[in-house]
Amino acid sequence: MTWWGKLAGGAFGFMLGGPLGALLGGVLGHKLDQQTSSPPDSAANQERIQTAFFTATFSVMGHLAKADGRVSPEEINQAKAVMAHMDLQPDMRRAAIDLFNQGKRHDFPLDEVLVQFRRECRRRSTLIQMFLEIQIQAAYADRHLDTAEEQLLLHICHKLGIPEFLFRQLERMIKAQQGTYSQSGSGQQQPATDRLSLAEAYAILGISSGASQSEIKKAYRRLMSQHHPDKLVAKGLPEEMMKVATRKTKEIRNAYEVIKKAKGF
């Protein structure tokens, strides 16, 4: 039985406490807000991390969408697009929507949620980075990052222990990736890789146009390792988010191919 099956069925081999447990418990109608712990390498802990990632992703996304005072149709569509990429079952999709709506509430405990999420991830930096990438992508759903959204993202970085330079690097990467996708009326993002420019390819790999061949290859291998779906799932990424990670590896590979072609190697 998957982590979600255990939650939905009430057969808890693990319990997610704290504010994340309270948020998800409210959605499921179960009492999950009792603080508990499990051994670092146990299967139960893996399920806790998956549950924490799912809960934090959609609730914080809802809070971020409300940062500028209103939730735009583009931001709603972006949340739906993430759910579509995850190919969520109907009950999981309903839970994700409910979490998104809880995040929009004025009394949403953002700091408490982020502190617990970081603790549950147990210093898995690539997992925390994936979470941030999803939030930045959501913020750029309308192709614009206003001051309130930027300040909130920087605050999220501070709480998760992510330095500003890494945030700026990820921001450039997400902006370049957004440029290679067109938005359909259903909220689905349609690939348009033929639009990927050389400048966007460099931004996706996080390198300058003057980078050497060895630097380009090193950046590519590093990013592919960080976004490898199997590695992320092993660290606690929900299995349903494998498609999100897979799409990111395709974007990185496409950028690398554009640069290789331009450089002639």
Max CA separation in the chain (angstroms): 59
Residue for token pair 């938005």:
183
170: Cα separation from own chain's centroid: 12
Residue 10, class by beta-carbon neighbours within 10 Å (0-12 exposed, 13-18 middle, 19+ buried)? exposed
Predicted confidence pLDDT, tens digits, the chain (265 residues): 466 766 665 555 456 788 998 898 888 776 554 544 444 446 667 788 888 999 999 999 999 988 877 787 887 887 887 777 777 788 888 999 999 999 999 999 999 999 999 999 987 899 999 999 999 988 887 778 889 999 999 999 999 999 999 999 999 888 887 764 444 333 444 444 457 889 999 999 999 999 999 999 999 999 999 899 888 888 888 877 787 888 889 999 999 999 999 988 8
Q: Can you give the pLDDT at residue 196?
A: 81
CA nearest 60: which of 118, 16, 17? 118
- Tell me the C-alpha distance between 89 and 57, whole Å: 17
Q: Can you give the pLDDT at residue 97?
A: 92
Number of Cβ atoms within 10 Å of the Cβ of 41: 8
CA angle 168, 101, 137 (to 5 degrees): 20
